[in-house]
């Protein structure tokens, strides 16, 4: 049952991460088009430039949980790398419980008024010719926190399985 819960939670991160990978390719292609139009044809577009900004925000914010799942996040592992598997699991569990989850819950809570205020006025770009979807961009903040909470809980459960000697989900 625990493995099914972990796999279900991690599938959210996996699907999101795979979709985000394609956004990265699209963002790179769009950047090339913008540079070609700007310097090859003397044509500039604020909306196209902001589109790259939006895509970059999506890649970063929606890809955070996938990066965490793949254990590719930044870690200061001066001591950690020498720890046993159970000791690493204990550090990861405590880090998730006392740092990751509180930070995500706090940020989620604090972002709600900010995002709702943007939605109330359907906030748009302050730039002439910019995109009219700033409210959607700001919505990425609570979505990022929710996906990190889901992945954080899955990671804590996997680490608890390691600590207790149960058979954790493969790949941990």
pLDDT tens for 142-157 read: 999 999 999 999 999 9
Residues 6+ apart with CB under 8 A from 98: none
Domain ranges of the chain: 2-164
- What is the dihedral angle through the alpha carbons of 20, 21, 22, 23, rounded to the nearest 10 degrees? 50
Average pLDDT over residues 81-95: 92
Q: What is the mean pLDDT of residues 125-138?
A: 95
Q: What percent of the chain clears pLDDT 70, i.e. is strictly above it?
A: 96
Residue with tokens 């970059």: 56
Do 143 and 2 contact (CB within 8 A), yes or no? no
Average pLDDT value for the chain:
91
The confidence band for 87, taking pLDDT boundaries of 50, 70 and 90, is very high
Measured between alpha carbons, how far is 92 from 64 in angstroms, rounded to an integer?
Answer: 17
Residue 172 has pLDDT above 50, yes or no: no
| Cβ–Cβ < 8 Å for 41, 35 | no
How far apart are alpha carbons 157 and 3 in whole angstroms? 9
How high is the pLDDT of residue 2? Answer: 75
Question: What digits encode the pLDDT tens for the residues 33-86?
Answer: 999 999 999 999 999 999 999 999 999 999 999 999 988 887 777 788 888 999
Sign of the Cα pseudo-torsion (98, 101, 103, 106, in order) = negative
pTM, rounded to two decimals: 0.87
């Amino acid at each position: 049952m625990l493995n099914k819960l972990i796999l279900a939670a991690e599938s959210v991160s996996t699907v999101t991460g795979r979709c985000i990978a394609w956004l990265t390719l699209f963002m790179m292609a769009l950047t090339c088009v913008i540079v070609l139009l700007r310097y090859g044809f003397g044509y500039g577009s604020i909306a196209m430039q902001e589109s790259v900004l939006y895509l970059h925000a999506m890649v970063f914010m929606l890809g955070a949980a996938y990066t965490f799942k793949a254990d590719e996040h930044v870690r200061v592992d001066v001591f950690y790398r020498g720890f046993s598997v159970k000791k690493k699991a204990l550090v990861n569990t405590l880090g998730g419980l006392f740092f990751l989850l509180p930070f995500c819950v706090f940020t989620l809570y604090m972002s709600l008024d900010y995002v709702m205020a943007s939605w109330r006025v359907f906030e748009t770009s302050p730039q002439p010719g910019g995109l009219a979807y700033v409210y959607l961009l700001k919505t990425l903040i609570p979505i990022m926190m929710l996906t990190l909470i889901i992945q954080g809980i899955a990671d804590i459960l996997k680490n608890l399985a390691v600590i207790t000697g149960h058979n954790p989900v493969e790949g941990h």
